[in-house]
A and B are shown apart, each in its own frame.
Chain A
Amino acid sequence: EAGVAQSPRYKIIEKRQSVAFWCNPISGHATLYWYQQILGQGPKLLIQFQNNGVVDDSQLPKDRFSAERLKGVDSTLKIQPAKLEDSAVYLCASSVLTRGGEQYFGPGTRLTVT
């Protein structure tokens, strides 16, 4: 079974530029999560999708971050414009269940904003 795929693995941009991350969850997993993990901290949930609908985006900075999951499969997370404090690892995860299910994580995208 293929795992959660993410790209790119690394990205370096200047502040005020835009960036997009892509995630392909495990086949059949209805729930998809985007997390932001700042160095030395635990992951922070940015947004959770159930199929192509948003379950929770309460911690997503909506003035600069956006995410979509068209057709309920792949998802993209965009930052526009990026700030220095956006430097982090962006993790995508998927699960079969919406509540309490085991989450499977992708390798993450390490973003550096200079």
Chain B
Amino acid sequence: KNEVEQSPQNLTAQEGEFITINCSYSVGISALHWLQQHPGGGIVSLFMLSSGKKKHGRLIATINIQEKHSSLHITASHPRDSAVYICAVSPGSNYQLIWGAGTKLIIKP
């Protein structure tokens, strides 16, 4: 079993829909990261959080430390949001990130 599990693996939605991507982890962490990767492109850090909720534009990230679960939400989705969204955790014991497998999101116009 992977230490970081994301769901769904693939998601296709229509423009304007509310999107939720989930991340569950099984290790103790100091922080959880949500990152975005466009096809052929580099990775962009969206959020780093250790508790509660963060919002940036149409993106919202939440984390429940007790349940070891985080969600990334996109409101009013747009085709330019199409990308792979990756959840990664910083374990409390060391410095390496543990990466989820990513969720490939396609938003159709």
A residues at B contact (CB < 8 Å): 6, 42-43, 45, 48, 55-56, 91, 93, 98-108, 110
Question: Distance in Å from the Cβ of B48 to the closest Cβ of chain A?
Answer: 4
User: In the complex, which residues of chain A have a beta carbon less than 8 angstroms from the beta carbon of B33?
Assistant: 102-103
B residues at A contact (CB < 8 Å): 30-31, 33, 35, 40-45, 48, 86, 88, 90, 92, 94-97, 99-102
The CA of A102 and the CA of B41, in the complex, are separated in Å by 19
Known: A91-B42, A100-B31, A102-B45. A56 touches B102 (CB 8 A): no
User: In the complex, which residues of chain A have a beta carbon less than 8 angstroms from the beta carbon of B101?
Assistant: 42
Known: A42-B100, A56-B96, A99-B94. A105 touches B43 (CB 8 A): yes
- How many interface contacts (CB-CB < 8 Å) are there between A and B? 50
Partner of B41, one of A43, A45, A107: A107
The CA of A56 and the CA of B97, in the complex, are separated in Å by 12
User: In the complex, which residues of chain B have a beta carbon less than 8 angstroms from the beta carbon of A43?
Assistant: 43, 99
Known: A99-B90, A100-B90. A106 touches B42 (CB 8 A): yes
User: In the complex, which residues of chain A have a beta carbon less than 8 angstroms from the beta carbon of B31?
Assistant: 100, 102
Q: Cβ of A103 and Cβ of B95 under 8 Å apart?
A: no
Partner of A105, one of B30, B42, B94: B42
